[in-house]
Amino acid sequence: MQQTIKNSLEGLGICVSDLHYQLSPGELVKQTLTLQQGSLNDSGALCVHTGKFTGRSPKDRFIVMDAATRSAVDWGEVNIPFDAEAFNSLYEKVCRYLSRRKEVWVRDSFACADKRYRFNIRAITETPWANLFCHHLFLRPGHKALPFAKTDWLIMHAPGFIASPAEDGTRQENFTIIHFTRQIILIGGTAYTGEIKKAIFSVLNFVLPYRYNVLSMHCAANEGGQGDVALFFGLSGTGKTTLSADPGRRLIGDDEHGWAEGAIFNFEGGCYAKCINLSAEKEPQIYNAIRSGALLENVAFYAGTDKVNFEDGSITENTRAAYPIECIANAKHPAAGGNPKNIFFLTCDAFGVLPPISKLTKGQAMLHYISGYTAKIAGTEIGVTEPQPVFSACFGKVFLPLHPVVYAELLGGLLEKHREINVWLINTGWTGGGYGKGVRISLQYTRSMINAAMKEELKNAAYYPHMHFGIAIPEHVPGVPDAILNPRRTWQDRNAYDKAANHLAALFINNFERYSQKAGPETKAAVPRVLQTGSL
């Protein structure tokens, strides 16, 4: 088997004397410790630092422009074109670099729990702990499937390779480049493993919709005892991880999924969870998954101990934990289910305008999917002194090779075909005023609203439309005070609410302008309205 892999690498242009293929997590941890590239914490997890880069570098992620991508990719600030010849030259340089290292780690994995869309991945990594990450995050094949006779996608991860922008065509020393024709992902100059995960996600966001008409989604998914699937979309800080982690429901996945006709399926075999401020009380499933074999990135310890201080963001706020999904006690295997029964769009509206729960029509669902709205609050980032709107199409714009309307239209088509599916907008942000004046909506109430939706307790509820956004607000939700359901009624100054609502509506309208030319009439009809305050 070793010789087969060695011959395969030589065919790629990589010649090494010491090849490590498909090592177990225990072996990879041991090698990382031997190479002094990491240490263990008190629970037995491997802790590493990713160096200069502790997060993704979206401005350094490129797609090779060629016949396969030229007219299909939505080129711009997200999808930056890269010259095919420059890629070939850089590929050869990376191969020579890895050959000089003399020691590499190789792993064969799958992506997509649904076998109809599954493809083989071979990862060649410069470090053992990056290989451990690939073991955790991708689907793990049985021994009989190894080694792969055919590799669909090749990942080459060389954090020690420093690019020369003048010679190599990159923006700076680090890069992630996707070549859809050659089916190769080149990553260099950065050790942050999230680049590996999200590069494959970008591949799936191109291949599945473009070739198979399957909707790829940046969301969490779980399943109830009756086989009822729920999807949770939301940007950072909206509560996606917290609200989808329900001990009473089976976890299909926490981040990346596909929706084919009649099937929701996880792309991955593990989780890559943010762990800043992690605690056993707040998120017990994640906390308990960080044990022997798990990988922790960029965490700090309490002084003089091997105990992680999860509240310490001195290295980065983007501390991460990687572990197989089986470490979650109620994870479902295989990681797939039927069509969703409920879809939740989560937003943290720091302006205090949106209702804590509202029901969306198909057109409204497509609009809010394209919008992908939330808001940053003061103190979350340097320079943020008041709420700032964030719009990220499809709740993951930076991972979308195709135009966002393509994904929204796929969603709309599925909702049209399955009209029994409910789509909800959940505001986990402020009520009674914006940030600094109002209060954060109680997590207890949010859970009650989501549970009521999933238990069909809102099926026969009476609804009325929001004046600006047209979304349907229920008059009553079990376990939730009626008074908080209408956001305008929670403000002491109704005129101030009307101004805030007009402001947010205008932000939505302005953001939608970039998509309106390709959007359909139903989506356009769902755009919110700016109203004359005297008419309210």
List active site positions: 56, 198, 218, 236, 240-241, 255, 320
In a 3-state reduction of DSSP, which class is residue 179?
Answer: strand
Instruction: Dihedral sign for Cα 250, 255, 256, 258, please.
Output: positive
Residue type, 156: M
How far, in Å, are 291, 446, 457 from residue 479 at the CA level?
37, 10, 11
How far, in Å, are 254, 257, 468, 503 from residue 221 at the CA level?
6, 8, 30, 33
Helix (H) or strand (E) holding 222: strand 220-223
d(CA 312, CA 299): 7
d(CA 443, CA 440): 9
d(CA 520, CA 412): 10
Residue 333's Cα: distance from chain center in Å? 21
Burial zone of 309 (CB within 10 Å; 0-12 exposed, 13-18 middle, 19+ buried): middle
Burial zone of 139 (CB within 10 Å; 0-12 exposed, 13-18 middle, 19+ buried): buried
Q: Yes or no: say if 108 and 121 are a contact pair by the CB < 8 Å rule.
A: yes
Burial zone of 440 (CB within 10 Å; 0-12 exposed, 13-18 middle, 19+ buried): middle
Cis peptide before 334 (omega within 30 of 0): yes
The count of other CB atoms within 10 Å of the CB of residue 382 is 6
Rounded to 5 degrees, what are φ and ψ at 289?
-80, -15
Cβ neighbors of 141 (< 8 A, separation 6 or more) are 108, 109, 110, 148
Lookup: tokens for 455: 């238990």
